[in-house]
A and B are shown apart, each in its own frame.
Chain A
């Protein structure tokens, strides 16, 4: 037996860590349906009823509905822009043999060393200078830049696997450079594109500090990650509402993760190690 008695401590330790990961999730999910009294009296009991009162309070008191829309808007437009920038760039760099191209590629791969967070204040100045301070627009423009190194490097690796002959054949049929990208490279790099989209979906949806500083507190503009912590101030210590709000922000990520679990895990692993 491969996993004999000597593995018992290992099983115990790993599973207790797994429980540490699971308990907060369960607690949040259960508390979202309870009142404060129930939460304090029986923190781990199943809720008596599945009323959505806490959710609607969270929705109305922190304008969460609007914030979800804003987040969805920022995330999706930024994703489109990321692909629009990274696909042609990776296409060009993967096919090119020039010294310039390899220098540009090096610039992107060094980009992992620049921690996004470091330049918060200068970015804030940039937002002010371009007149886009306190708007979602700046975040839509800014987020793709943070994603550029990772996206370009991942896509380049996928594009290098496309056989040269495919392009030759398309060229022979009179395909333009754009058509080669659109009809030869893009379809063959779909797994790479999916990886890039998933990774960036996570980072864009979860982005907090820049959104807080640049979009600011205006309920018409702010994203859900900025709106969520304000619940603490608005509702005081109404844990039911607090947890309901948190659960709401997790739902989109949770759905995507559960549906695309394998691909998402691959994406996260490959993405992190490239950094």
Chain B
């Protein structure tokens, strides 16, 4: 079910596969033991070349002074790290990413869990809700960005609504104002994140035996308590896995939203760490710097995963 716990399937082939082989009544033309493993080689090679190779390269490039694609490359050691740590833009990006995660992640997970619980109880209309919850999971990042652009641009939906409600003093250039640009990005994360995460929770809650909830209700527990005290502990490790996923998507994926909606601005008010990696590589052409931030981002991802795993460890 998860990637962090060893897959239960790994132990199975020994159980399912062994008996027929030892019971072999007739001689085999060739030993079938390793007969097919070679078929896994192309997929493995493909994966190592296109995924693992570039991943390792990040660490190498992070130690190079490389001021542009066609410039000479020299060894920089920890020079890039020093440059990064001395750069106020980096610290602004750290702050923005921390705010983004601290606001978006809990909001998304808590709301999604409650929506998921709601859907799993099969109230009237739950099929329609389920259909709609999938929508953010289906549309591409540029399309989502278009939705938010249409809603938040100076003559977009939100300002239009505010004006027609007589609140024109509240209108703003939401995406271009330093105080709201980051909030817009967080809103996009939450808007898109709740739906799909809720579906995941609903699917898992659907397999929790009904008797569990009914027993709790008989004991006089309301839905609120059943939801948090009965069901939540049962799927606690699952919630952990989903949280890890959303953490990774938010941490690494924000570059696309930033690129499409705010370009990191105004100033560095909406620059996130993953956008900084992109911006330094493809706009500022400071490749060593970019990949150093990449390494930091990678380590942050790892630390976050371990923390979340610890937080959601099954404790009964």
Does chain A have a CB within 8 A of B183? no
CA distance in complex: A135, B184 (Å): 34
B245:A18 contact, CB within 8 angstroms: no
CB of A11, distance to nearest CB on chain B (Å): 7
A273 proximity list for chain B (CB < 8 A): 1-2, 200, 204, 238, 241-242
B34 proximity list for chain A (CB < 8 A): 96, 98, 100
Q: A209 and B255 in contact (CB under 8 A), knowing A18-B128, A145-B50, A246-B143?
A: yes
B58:A118 contact, CB within 8 angstroms: yes
CA distance in complex: A6, B61 (Å): 58
Q: A126 and B37 in contact (CB under 8 A), knowing A95-B17, A117-B255?
A: no
CA distance in complex: A116, B10 (Å): 25
Those of A67-110 within 8 Å (CB) of chain B? 85-86, 88-89, 91-98, 100-102, 104-110
Q: A6 and B16 in contact (CB under 8 A), knowing A105-B7, A121-B277?
A: no
B44:A208 contact, CB within 8 angstroms: no
**Hey, what's the 0/1 contact readout for A2-36 against B, CB within 8 Å counting as 1?**
11001100110011011011101101100100000
B139 proximity list for chain A (CB < 8 A): 206, 250, 253
CA distance in complex: A134, B117 (Å): 46
A153 proximity list for chain B (CB < 8 A): 7
A242:B150 contact, CB within 8 angstroms: yes
CA distance in complex: A22, B134 (Å): 11
Does chain B have a CB within 8 A of A119? yes
Does chain B have a CB within 8 A of A228? yes
Q: A275 and B135 in contact (CB under 8 A), knowing A20-B191, A268-B199?
A: no
A126 proximity list for chain B (CB < 8 A): 49-50, 53-54
B39:A265 contact, CB within 8 angstroms: no
CA distance in complex: A267, B36 (Å): 28
CB of B97, distance to nearest CB on chain A (Å): 14
Binds A, one of B75-83, B86-94, B99-107, B291-299: B291-299
Residue of A40, A115, A153 contacting most chain B CB atoms (<10 Å)? A115
Partner of B3 from the list A157, A205, A275 (CB cut-off 8 Å) is A275
Does chain A have a CB within 8 A of B308? no
CB of A119, distance to nearest CB on chain B (Å): 4
Does chain B have a CB within 8 A of A232? yes
* Interface size bracket, B side: 35 or more
Those of A206-247 within 8 Å (CB) of chain B? 206-209, 213, 225, 228-229, 232, 237, 239, 242-243, 246
Those of A127-150 within 8 Å (CB) of chain B? 141-142, 144-146, 148-149
CA distance in complex: A109, B44 (Å): 12
Those of B39-80 within 8 Å (CB) of chain A? 39-40, 42-44, 46-47, 49-55, 57-58, 61
**Hey, what's the 0/1 contact readout for B199-233 against A, CB within 8 Å counting as 1?**
11001100000000000000000110000000000
Those of B226-266 within 8 Å (CB) of chain A? 238, 241-242, 245, 248, 251-253, 255-256, 259-260
A168:B135 contact, CB within 8 angstroms: no
Partner of A120 from the list B10, B35, B157, B281 (CB cut-off 8 Å) is B281
Partner of B287 from the list A121, A168, A243 (CB cut-off 8 Å) is A121
Those of B110-161 within 8 Å (CB) of chain A? 111, 114-115, 118-119, 121, 123-125, 128-143, 145-147, 149-151, 153, 155, 157, 160
Residue of B35, B51, B157, B294 contacting most chain A CB atoms (<10 Å)? B51
Residue of B7, B131, B251 contacting most chain A CB atoms (<10 Å)? B7
CA distance in complex: A108, B9 (Å): 13
Question: What residue of chain B has the Cβ atom nearest to residue A106's Cβ?
Answer: B10
B305:A113 contact, CB within 8 angstroms: yes
* Interface size bracket, A side: 35 or more
CA distance in complex: A101, B58 (Å): 28
Does chain A have a CB within 8 A of B196? yes
Does chain B have a CB within 8 A of A177? yes
Question: What residue of chain A has the Cβ atom nearest to residue B59's Cβ?
Answer: A122
Q: What are 30 A-B residue pairs whose CB atoms fall within 8 Å in the complex?
A: A7-B123, A15-B125, A24-B147, A89-B43, A91-B39, A98-B34, A105-B10, A110-B3, A111-B47, A115-B248, A115-B252, A116-B51, A118-B294, A119-B57, A122-B57, A122-B291, A125-B54, A144-B46, A148-B46, A149-B47, A202-B138, A209-B259, A243-B146, A250-B138, A250-B139, A250-B143, A254-B138, A265-B199, A273-B2, A275-B3
**Interfacial residues, chain B to chain A (CB-CB below 8 A):** 1-4, 6-7, 9-10, 12-14, 16-18, 20, 33-40, 42-44, 46-47, 49-55, 57-58, 61, 111, 114-115, 118-119, 121, 123-125, 128-143, 145-147, 149-151, 153, 155, 157, 160, 191, 194-196, 199-200, 203-204, 222-223, 238, 241-242, 245, 248, 251-253, 255-256, 259-260, 274, 277-278, 281-282, 287, 290-291, 294, 297-298, 301, 305
